[in-house]
Amino acid sequence: MFYHQLYLVLLLVLVTININSLALTIDQKSNTVHLEAPNLSGQYHNNRPSLPFSSNVNKIELISKADIINPCNGTFMKTNGTTCGLKEIMLGRCYQYQYIQRGLYLSNTTAVKNCTELYELFESEVRFKPYCNMNMSTYEKYFQRALEGVHVINRAIFWSGTYAITHTYSGHGHNYITLEDTLAANMLDGLMWCGKENDPQGFDYVSCPNNCQDNRWADLAFWGLASKTFAERVAGEIYVVLNGSRTDGRPSYRNGSYFAEFELPNFQRTGPYRVTKINILVLHTPDLPVVERCGDKSIIHLEHLIRDAQFEYICIDDPDELLLIMCGDSWGARECEVARTALRRAWDLKVLGKSNANYYPLSLLLLFFTGIFRQMLSN
Amino acid sequence: MFYHQLYLVLLLVLVTININSLALTIDQKSNTVHLEAPNLSGQYHNNRPSLPFSSNVNKIELISKADIINPCNGTFMKTNGTTCGLKEIMLGRCYQYQYIQRGLYLSNTTAVKNCTELYELFESEVRFKPYCNMNMSTYEKYFQRALEGVHVINRAIFWSGTYAITHTYSGHGHNYITLEDTLAANMLDGLMWCGKENDPQGFDYVSCPNNCQDNRWADLAFWGLASKTFAERVAGEIYVVLNGSRTDGRPSYRNGSYFAEFELPNFQRTGPYRVTKINILVLHTPDLPVVERCGDKSIIHLEHLIRDAQFEYICIDDPDELLLIMCGDSWGARECEVARTALRRAWDLKVLGKSNANYYPLSLLLLFFTGIFRQMLSN
- Enumerate the domain spans of chain A: 86-330, 331-353+360-378
Residue A301, burial from CB neighbour count under 10 angstroms (0-12, 13-18, 19+) = middle
Which residues in chain B have Cβ-Cβ distances shorter than 8 Å to A244?
351
Task: Please tell us whether the domain made up of B86-330 is placed in CATH 3.40.50.300.
Answer: no
- Calculate Rg over the CA atoms of chain B: 26
- CB-nearest partner of A317 from B351, B371, B372: B351
B234-243 and B157-160 as β-strands: parallel, antiparallel, unpaired? parallel
Q: What is the pLDDT of residue B131?
A: 86
Task: Answer yes or no: are the C-beta atoms of A174 and B39 closer than 8 Å.
Answer: yes
Q: What letter would DSSP give residue A350?
A: I
- Contact check, Cβ <8 Å, B351/A106: no
Q: Chain A: residue nearest B73 by CA?
A: A112
Which residues in chain B have Cβ-Cβ distances shorter than 8 Å to A23?
375
Q: What is the pLDDT of residue A105?
A: 67
For residue A134, CA distances in Å to A85, A145, A219, B266 come to 22, 19, 8, 55
- CB-nearest partner of B169 from A38, A335, A374: A38
- Contact check, Cβ <8 Å, B320/A328: no
pTM reported for the whole predicted model = 0.81
Among A3, A178, A321, A359, most B C-beta atoms within 10 A, so best to mutate, is A321
Which residues are within 8 A (CB) of B154 and not within 5 positions of it... i.e. 6 or more apart? Answer: B235, B236, B237, B238
The alpha-carbon gap from A150 to the nearest alpha carbon of chain B, in Å, equals 15
Q: What is the pLDDT of residue B36?
A: 73
**What whole-number distance in Å separates Cα of residue A230 and Cα of residue A249?**
28
- Contact check, Cβ <8 Å, A335/B314: no
Q: What is the pLDDT of residue B307?
A: 97
The alpha-carbon gap from A328 to the nearest alpha carbon of chain B, in Å, equals 5
Task: Answer yes or no: are the C-beta atoms of B190 and B47 closer than 8 Å.
Answer: yes
Q: Chain A: residue nearest B115 by CA?
A: A85
pLDDT less than 50: residues of chain A = 1, 6, 8-30, 52-67, 357-361, 379
Name the residue type at position A164: A
Q: What is the pLDDT of residue B38?
A: 63
For residue B285, CA distances in Å to A45, A291, B280 come to 30, 37, 16
* Mean pLDDT of all residues belonging to chain A: 81
Which residues in chain B have Cβ-Cβ distances shorter than 8 Å to A243?
none
**Could you report how far apart the first and last alpha carbons of chain B are, in Å?**
12
The alpha-carbon gap from B189 to the nearest alpha carbon of chain A, in Å, equals 11
Which residues in chain A have Cβ-Cβ distances shorter than 8 Å to B293?
351-352
The alpha-carbon gap from B254 to the nearest alpha carbon of chain A, in Å, equals 21
Which residues in chain B have Cβ-Cβ distances shorter than 8 Å to A245?
none
The alpha-carbon gap from B130 to the nearest alpha carbon of chain A, in Å, equals 24
Q: Chain A: residue nearest B323 by CA?
A: A343
B161 Ramachandran zone, left/alpha/beta (phi>0; psi -120 to 50): left
- Contact check, Cβ <8 Å, B19/A372: yes
- Contact check, Cβ <8 Å, A319/B35: yes
- Contact check, Cβ <8 Å, A85/B115: yes
Which residues in chain A have Cβ-Cβ distances shorter than 8 Å to B324?
38, 324, 327-328, 331, 336, 339-340, 343
- CB-nearest partner of B325 from A18, A328, A379: A328
For residue B123, CA distances in Å to A351, B87, B119, B195, B301 come to 48, 9, 6, 9, 40
**What whole-number distance in Å separates Cα of residue B342 and Cα of residue A336?**
9
The alpha-carbon gap from B277 to the nearest alpha carbon of chain A, in Å, equals 10
Interface contacts (A, B; CB < 8 Å)? 355
Q: What is the pLDDT of residue B53?
A: 43
- CB-nearest partner of B324 from A78, A339, A351: A339
Q: What is the pLDDT of residue A27?
A: 34
The alpha-carbon gap from B258 to the nearest alpha carbon of chain A, in Å, equals 23
Q: What is the pLDDT of residue B352?
A: 87
**What whole-number distance in Å separates Cα of residue B157 and Cα of residue B342?**
31
Q: What is the pLDDT of residue B54?
A: 38
Q: What is the pLDDT of residue A162?
A: 94
- Contact check, Cβ <8 Å, A324/B321: no
pLDDT in tens, chain B (379 residues): 455 554 544 444 444 433 333 333 333 334 567 777 665 555 555 667 666 443 333 333 333 444 456 888 877 888 889 999 999 999 999 999 999 887 666 766 678 999 999 999 999 999 999 888 888 889 999 999 999 888 999 999 999 999 999 999 998 888 999 999 999 999 999 999 999 998 899 999 999 987 787 777 777 899 999 999 999 999 999 999 999 999 999 999 999 899 999 999 999 999 999 999 999 999 999 999 999 999 999 999 999 999 999 999 999 999 998 998 999 888 789 999 999 999 999 999 999 886 554 444 555 555 555 555 555 555 4
Q: What is the pLDDT of residue B329?
A: 83
